[in-house]
Chain A
């Protein structure tokens, strides 16, 4: 059990007896992933320490640097949050279809095409509409294109029996080719010279940072999208139906659930989130669409979603953790003279251990809500 999981329980416990039991049950259920996750991270770090010792460097220095670079100061925290922002949306692109039992690995395609769509739609509107309206246009265009792209994988899965994992991957490669063709062909700004790009957004049309922070609005949009997705899955009948279909398609069909529409709908929503990530890259970071849209956010999102066990709320801390590791990677390179690949090794070790530790779910009685029911 962790301190933060215990604390609120204790204070409520002191407050009154009637709310005590349900709260403990709730806590037990919530504490399990947190506790197991944290222990897994510690084990992973211990294993990685052995690796660092073998190559003759100090793991203590390394973890100190990771803390400094990822979370040690307000600057570092914002650095981590900036890197986490796009992952929130691309992880949702994996997590939502996963509720239906689908494995979508082609979110990258929706990101790049969403970015291109967002950049393309601004051209006739710049200067004639206020920025906020332009963002709405850009967002809608990106979500539409991203939704169609991943929705196509869902559609093909249900109505043609095409495996969605392979089709989404193929579609991602095709999307990147299309993006390059557009950016270097019809949409290319002749002034973009050595980095072929679309015409850049004027400065006043850039999305900018969250007030008081050095992190762009993509973070807020991502968090909102995670919460909305959580609500969709947990609170609506669609989410309930999706979970049933994910468990057993045939049973869902016998009950008369519209499995096909659910699959197409969920994949389309998932794709529209990834498309939105592309739009944010254009509106908040790059200012134009170019090959840097294919920065791998879609692929990292797969990892985030699986680590978060496809829970949209858990995506938030996992993405921030990943952003933090990423942010500290540079410092490790600079201060310890280790190559960039060090961070990949750390990530690999950490993630294998975290995913391995999923086997311990339900093994410890302390996390069993029923235990707390009975004990009172």
Chain B
């Protein structure tokens, strides 16, 4: 047990040192990591902590900070985006003495977290995915998110080399900016390999709906898609169904290579442990917590699954070259000229968006080559 703990600690120290070296998040103050102020941190998840996906990724991040000295972790799962989450936050503050809260689902932001932040100005709230704005939102709140569409772009590169039918498929929950970014990035990655590739998208309408996700995967493969990825809360079903039908798979949220074996190309994964570690260190050293924290692959917010055996040498070369460009901060996934799938120009020819461009966070279109509709 002691050994396990010490290993954990060493691991996180390494991780955070790496984070500090790469100049982690804009707005996060690099801490000296010596203070051990007692700190109770609350995590709230919208689904079960072990869903092989979105919530598990956050819970694993929370598990990393659990080992930090002076930190008490309190967690609550399956909290709906209703008055329940407001009361859960209050309960963590009043009954557990939490002073830093991480409500991890997008729907917690407005009105629930904002209401609680106004009521408890001494408590810090950091929300996953929200668009915090100076002046509009309270100073004791903030948001953090990762540019995981970079990972989906790299998924797309692996998919572009693997597809024979030149059709790839995407099982998506809802047509919201975070999902549309991923769909578009996946296709753009594939089109960087072969501009003839198209991507079929199916929206299931819910974040977690196992049978419909399986049906959607089957429908995509019936229409000739031979590489599948997804953006739903728990990708397990999509990954297993696609691999079972003989299609290649790119993972999402977490490493699903064990579920698809040699059909797994790569995957876009969260690395929340780094993000949370840095928040905690800033809080413990009395530094200011960032209000608008974003990061991508180079910042250690997001990582890629190791490339699978089906990835060709040519694909590997292009994948690694692009990854290196992304890590160097010189790569734009979304750059002009770019049309949406209704023929409108959405990015002018001379324009290129860096990953931190705020416009990207309100993306409302599917790019040319994606078959699907946003409503």
Contact = CB atoms under 8 A, between A and B. Distances in A.
Interface string B293-313: 000000000000000000000
A96 interface: no
Contact of A333 (B75, B110, B361): B75
A194 B179 CA distance: 9
B88 interface: yes
A164 interface: no
Contacts of B48: 339-340
B325 interface: no
Contact of A286 (B78, B82, B87, B96): B82
A75 B75 CA distance: 20
B2 to A, nearest CB: 20
A76 B96 CA distance: 13
A82 interface: yes
Contacts of A296: 80
Contacts of B111: 200, 285-287
A184 interface: yes
B260 interface: no
Contacts of A83: 83-84, 87
A339 B79 CA distance: 12
Contacts of B49: 339
Nearest to B80: A295
A82 B81 CA distance: 14
A370 B313 CA distance: 91
A247 B47 CA distance: 43
B92 A285 contact: no
B79 A330 contact: yes
B129 A295 contact: no
B95 A68 contact: yes
Interface string B26-47: 0000000000000000100000
B56 to A, nearest CB: 13
Contacts of B81: 195, 292, 295
Nearest to A281: B82
Contact of A75 (B94, B131, B375): B94
Given A286-B82, A292-B82, A194 B176 contact: yes
Contacts of B76: 330, 333-334, 340
A327 interface: yes
A73 B88 CA distance: 15
Contacts of B80: 292, 295-296
Nearest to B362: A193
Contacts of A194: 106, 129, 176-178
A69 B94 CA distance: 10
Given A286-B82, A292-B107, A79 B174 contact: no
Contact of B176 (A193, A285, A295): A193
A112 to B, nearest CB: 13
Contacts of B13: none
Which of A75, A85, A193, A331 gathers the greatest number of chain B CB atoms within 10 Å? A193
A331 B91 contact: yes
Interface in B105-157: 106-107, 109-111, 129, 131
A190 interface: yes
Contact of A327 (B78, B91, B177): B91
B107 A330 contact: no
A195 B96 contact: no
Interface in A307-361: 326-327, 330-331, 333-334, 339-340
B84 A69 contact: no
Interface string A273-291: 0000000010001110011
Contacts of A295: 80-82, 84
Contacts of B78: 340
Interface string A175-203: 00000100011001010011110001000
A340 B50 CA distance: 12
Interface string B83-103: 110011011101110000000
Contacts of B79: 330
B82 A79 contact: no
A355 B90 CA distance: 33
Nearest to B205: A180
A291 to B, nearest CB: 8
Contacts of A184: 174-175, 375
B68 interface: no
Interface of A: 68-69, 73, 75-76, 79, 82-83, 85, 180, 184-185, 188, 190, 193-196, 200, 216, 281, 285-287, 290-292, 295-296, 326-327, 330-331, 333-334, 339-340
Interface of B: 42, 48-49, 74-84, 87-88, 90-92, 94-96, 106-107, 109-111, 129, 131, 174-178, 205, 361-362, 364, 375
Top-9 shortest CB links A-B: A334-B74, A340-B78, A292-B81, A194-B106, A194-B176, A195-B107, A79-B87, A330-B76, A295-B82
